[in-house]
Chain A
Amino acid sequence: MAKTKADAKSRKAGSNLKACRQCHNLLEGDVCPVCQSGALSEDWSGYVVIIDPARSEIAKLMNVKRPGKFALKVR
């Protein structure tokens, strides 16, 4: 029961996501679907949702060309 509660809490906070060390993409699996890298980290901070990469200046600064969720810092 306690485990389920903890799981729900972590899901709510988005902390179950892993960040790709190469492209900073946030994902749930074990392999990054973008760069096919297996180098993932659960220790990340800063959160960006890119909705329209073509027109977003933040996406340009981050060098992101696809919509999605990204971490700002991956340890």
Chain B
Amino acid sequence: MADEAAQQAIPKSAIFAVKTTANQERSVANLIAMVTRKENLDIRSVLVPEELKGYVLVESPMAEIVEDCIKNIPHAKAVVRGASSITEVQHFLAPKPTVTGISEGDIVELTAGPFKGEKARVKRIDEAKEEITVELSEAMVPIPVTVRGDIVRVLSKEETGAKK
């Protein structure tokens, strides 16, 4: 009973996006946490998803609290108008494996590493390690190369049922 009353007394969280300088998201998040502790503000968490460049997401019941907090924080530019619910940012908490969307036989382009720019065909996918094994298209001898799933870009998907 007392717990229920205590739960009701806590204002509901909302998510506010704060625009930041690119690549300064983590330092802004650290500073927001520091100011929150120092000034005892009602900010509950700060989220910096890898996919969201130039923004940090702040969990707080009111936008005014966030605005007040970022006033003197370098690289924090402004609070984006409007609030999001927790369900809208929930997908950031469980990021998808990087190999999602890649299947065996696809033609991919390597985007980093010593084979950057090379085209290759996917031979094997290791979902647990988020690695793929590819064979470079332009190599004389097909040598399997294992690379991370996030350094490839899919160029064309394998046509199913069109085996020669």
- Name B46-72 residues within 8 Å CB distance of A: 46-50, 59
Chain B residues within 8 Å of A14, by CB = 26-27, 30
A interface, over-half SS: mixed
Contact residue among A12, A45, A47, A61 (Cβ-Cβ distance under 8 Å from B93): A61
- Name A1-57 residues within 8 Å CB distance of B: 12-14, 45-52, 55-57
Chain B residues within 8 Å of A61, by CB = 86, 90, 93
Is A48 within 8 A of B46, CB to CB? yes
Binds A, one of B31-39, B101-109, B151-159: B31-39
Nearest CB in chain A to that of B130: its residue: A75
Is B27 within 8 A of A56, CB to CB? no
Is A56 within 8 A of B59, CB to CB? yes
Interface size on B, as a range, is 20 to 34
Cβ of B135 within 8 Å of any chain A Cβ, yes or no, is no
Is A57 within 8 A of B93, CB to CB? no
Is A62 within 8 A of B130, CB to CB? no
Nearest CB in chain B to that of A48: its residue: B47
Chain B residues within 8 Å of A55, by CB = 10, 13, 44
Task: Give 13 pairs: A residue, B residue, CB < 8 Å, sorted on A.
Answer: A13-B26, A47-B26, A47-B47, A47-B48, A48-B46, A49-B29, A49-B30, A51-B44, A52-B42, A57-B13, A61-B93, A62-B93, A72-B95
B contacts, CB < 8 Å to A: 10, 13, 23, 25-27, 29-30, 32-33, 36-37, 42-50, 59, 86, 89-90, 92-93, 95, 129-130
A contacts, CB < 8 Å to B: 12-14, 45-52, 55-59, 61-62, 72-73, 75
